[in-house]
Structures are given as structure tokens and as C-alpha cells.
Amino acid sequence: MTFYRDTWAEVDLDAIHSNTKNLRGLLDENVQIMAVVKADGYGHKAVPTAEEALAAGAQWLGTALLDEAIALREAGITAPILVLGMIRPEDVVTAAANDIIVTAFQPWWLERAEKAAAASGQSFDYHIKIDSGMHRLGLKTNEEIDAFASRAASAEFGRAVGMFTHFAQADEQETSYVEEQTARFQEVADRLESVIGSIPVRHCANSAAAMRFPEAGFSLVRFGISMYGLTPSPSITADLPFALKPAFSLHSRITHVKTLEPGDTVSYGRTYTAESRERAATVPIGYADGWIRMHQGGDVLVNGQRCPIIGRICMDQMIIRVPEGIESGELVTLIGAQGSEYVSMEEAAARLDTINYEIPCVISARVPRLLQKQGRKTEVYYNIL
Ligand code: PMH
């Protein structure tokens, strides 16, 4: 795939491979790994990420949407896929036709899914989502649980093949809520099984939980952020026997360099004024690429040195202050390393008062993703329209 713009993200598949392998090593042998590749693999591209994670020891894939799961199937991926979010109950037929496992989270949902399945004669597999304290999706009250269990036990088309929950606070020092949620999950899971019969898979751990309490992995853990080489929160990785390797970096090339005279202002709203004679360079990335205006004031790397973003970030371009000697065509690293300098995902996230997860997710499809292996470009993903 060709692209003509000089702004791109690099995704290091070797990093995804080694992160997955190292994470695998933390777990008991019979605990399986689900690679969470929703939101286009947290912005890293779902298909190559999924393939790499599977090659490194993951067995399952998780998406948020049925659409994402179907896209993986269309790319030829045959591993088991669970849609972690809600799908419309009538779409179970489409999910099943694509060998995709769905999430059942309320009795009414199962009732409607059964009806749709009956109308087409198509059976479907689902995991039951238990709300143990996140209060997002799932069975919460004992009335809901009992109603669900009795409907599931008499269902002709839907098969309960797993049960799961999600932690609200696995990434913080305080662990009592994780313990509370785990206890409630087990209690509800046992209650469901006593009516429905044996359900083979139980899972609750995201990256933070699996890394901190590997023994609580049940039969499956769901790795997202850690597989991409980022830490769920600063307090998590200190005790890991290996370093996570960030897979995502972001780069551009300077288009235009000029000298600012004292008093010259920069960009919309004239929020930056040159105090002395200085050099300013234009970089072809802007808020339409997901490089939003709040990055103003942050640093990027040019020639191994930190250079500040000055003035407002525009839709497609921004301006940085550079040392003498920097010319058009020079490499700019917005996230990643140059020489001994490094701008981390966490540094970029801190400017926006957000978390590392959000940054690669919001770098838009207008930024080509170059997939790399052993330092060589393997594929380009770029779909601007
Ligand atoms: N399982 C579920 C149900 C999730 O929603 C997520 C991430 C994961 C596993 C993976 O978590 P990890 O990336 O911390 O390993 N979900 C989200 C979310 O909804 N917002 O941020 C992360």
C-alpha cells in the first residue's frame, strides 16, 4: 500500500511477540490467553497484532464489536473470537455463521437471541457476563441471575460456553475491591452452573490483574495494554521480571523551516510570540490525525533533541521550535526514541490529562501504520476514506 504523506506510525510486531511471550511465562501452563484487539488493536492494527499474539502463545481474541470480530474472520483468522461488548440479540445468527462467540448479559437479551436463532435454525455460543462491581454490563442481582439461569437451561439454540467479569480497580495499590469482585464472580458463576450445568471457561483478569495476581487467572486471561508494551498504571510493572516493550511509535518529517523575528507570533489565535530570533519548523500532523490541540507545549524529538510544540495545533499541521541547522525533511519523533531521548506514551498522555491507552487509539486512520518485524517494514495499513 502506497502513501504520499510524511507522517506515519510504526508498530513493532517483535515487541508484541516478546510481550506476549513474557506475559505467557507469568501464567500457569493451563491458563489460556485472550489477546484483546478491539479498537483496531488499540490503534496498532488488529489483524497483524492478532496474528503476532497468536504466534506468540495467545489462543483467543477479544473484540468490543461484532463488526471487529467479522473483520478478523474476513482477514482469514480462525482462532476463537469473543465479542466482549453487547451485540444486538438478532445478530447472533450472523455471529454464529462467522463462528464468533458472543456475550449474554441479561435475561431479555438471551430471550431475544433465542427467538432470532430459532427463526433461522442457527445455534450460537455465548459467554455470560457477570457484573461483579464494574456496573457496566452483566448480571447483577440474584433475580437476574436466576431468571437468566433458568432461561439458559431450557434454551435450544444458545450454549453457555464461558462466564466472565471485569475488574474496576485492578491497577491500583488497593486490592480489596479486586478480592470482593473475585468472590462475587465465583459465587455467581457457581450459582449459574448449578442450574445450567458445567460451563468450561471462566475469566476475569485484564492486564493489571493477570500481572499482579497470576494465580487468579481462572482458565483464561485477557491481555490488552500490556501486550502492546504499555503498563496499565505506573504502580504495576515495578515487580515484573521483564520490561514491557512499547510497540507503537509516531513520526513525521519537517516540511518548512523559517526564522521568527522577536515579536512574530505563531499559528491561529497567536498564542505564541517569539522572544528572540529563533527557528520554527512546520510538521505535517494535526488534530485531524488525532494529534489534538492539547499537545501544544509538549516536546517532540528532532535530531535527538527535545523541541517544543509552539502555538496552536492546526487540523493538518503544527509548528515546533528547533535549533539552528535543522532543515526541511528532518525526522520528527512525536512518540518514541531518538538517540538517548525518549517521549513515552505516558508523557504524551499526561499532557492531555489522560492515560496511555487513549493515545494510540485516537491516532486516526489518516496516519498510516507501518508494521515492522526485525527492523524491516512488512506491511502498511492505510485507509483514509
Ligand atoms: N477485558 C475487557 C472486558 C476489557 O474491556 C478490556 C479493556 C480488557 C479485557 C483488557 O484490559 P487491559 O487493556 O487493561 O489489559 N477495556 C478497556 C476499556 O473499556 N477502556 O479501557 C480499556
- Residue 21 · residue 36 · CB < 8 Å: no
CATH class of 248-343: mainly beta
For a pLDDT cut of 90, what percent of the chain falls above it? Answer: 92
**42 Cα to the center of ligand 1, angstroms:** 10
| CATH annotation of 13-227 | 3.20.20.10
Question: From ligand 1's centre to the CA of 206, what distance in Å?
Answer: 6
Per annotation, catalytic residue among 38, 45, 287, 357: 38
Answer whether residue 5 shows pLDDT above 90.
Answer: yes
User: Catalytic annotation on 4?
Assistant: no
Q: Tell me whether residue 38 is one of the annotated catalytic residues.
A: yes
Q: How long is the chain?
A: 385
Task: Provide CATH 2.40.37.10 ranges for the chain.
Answer: 248-343
Q: What is the pLDDT of residue 238?
A: 67
Residue spans in the chain of domains classed CATH 3.20.20.10? 13-227
Nearest CA-CA partner of 156 in 113, 208, 106: 113
Query: Ligand 1, closest atom to CA 42?
Result: 13
Among the ranges given (14-18, 87-91, 376-380), the one the predictor scored with the smallest mean pLDDT: 376-380
Per-residue pLDDT tens over the stretch 327-370: 999 999 999 999 999 999 999 999 999 999 999 999 999 999 99
The pLDDT of 264-280, averaged and rounded, is 98
The letter for the amino acid at 208 is: A
DSSP annotation string for 264-329: -EETGGG-EE-SSSEEEEEES--GGGT--GGGTT-EEEETTEEEEEES---SS-EEEEE-TT--TT
Of 145 and 384, the structure prediction assigns the larger pLDDT to: 145
Q: What is the pLDDT of residues 106-118, one digit of tens each?
A: 999 999 999 999 9
10 Å CB burial of residue 133 (0-12, 13-18, 19+) is: buried
Does residue 231 line the site of ligand 1, with CB under 6 A? no
Annotated binding site: 136, 315
Q: Give the pLDDT of residue 291.
A: 98
Rounded distance from Cα 135 to ligand 1 centre (Å): 14
Q: Which amino acid is at 77?
A: I
